[in-house]
Amino acid sequence: MQARIIDAVVEMVAEKSISGTTLANVASAAGVSQGVLVFHFKSKEGLLTQAMVRLLEEYRQAWQPAMASADPLERIVGLVRADFDPAICTRKKLALWFAFWGETAAKPIYNRLASESEEERFQAMKHACEDVAGIARISDPVGLAQSIDAHTDGLWLQMHLQGSDFTREMGLNSALSHVRLLLPELARRI
């Protein structure tokens, strides 16, 4: 039930953004009464917060497994691939990310969740880049990590704005090309 409700929230936020998401249309989309939304999630903000929590958890589950590899290059590529995973990088979910990012200035809770997620993922990328400096000549591993992350974030923006003109596959190719460019010594392995 809770999952079904959050599904409906995701649907509504993706379609109508946060200002257009109401208890009424979430309840209608989930096929339940408005009362049950408040019973389970306390408020509209609780509803949206849980939707964001689930989004961030899904995202973490997409990149976390790749961190088990001993090879730092595999970890870097794993992190990049996760950003363009078919389960993660959908039009709907990109719309969700941007909807929440659009509210971070007004709602500290969204900012906290987004920052923590971003930071956790960045630390993983940073460690992988620091480790990869052991097998390739890298002058600034932290800068490398920032550059890879910034690039993928920028591609998300382009995918979000350009719609279906810019596909997931194009994004992944661009992101991997960028990594090859930054790690020419290891390019043949990517």
Name the residue nearer to a copy of itself (CB basis): 7 or 71. Answer: 7
Name the residue nearer to DNA (CB basis): 33 or 123. Answer: 33
Task: Work out what residue 154 binds among a copy of itself, DNA, none; the CB cut-off runs from 5 to 8 Å by kind.
Answer: a copy of itself
State the greatest distance between any 2 C-alpha atoms of the chain, in Å, as a whole number: 60
**Using the rule CB under 7 A, which residue among 7, 11, 17, 40 binds DNA?**
40
Q: Is 109 in the site for DNA (CB under 7 A)?
A: no
For the segment 7-26, give every residue that binds DNA (CB under 7 A).
Answer: 20-25
Q: Is 73 in the site for a copy of itself (CB under 8 A)?
A: no
**Using the rule CB under 8 A, which residue among 1, 3, 70, 106 binds a copy of itself?**
106
**Using the rule CB under 7 A, which residue among 1, 3, 68, 106 binds DNA?**
1
Binding mask 36-65 for a copy of itself (x = CB under 8 A): ------------------------------
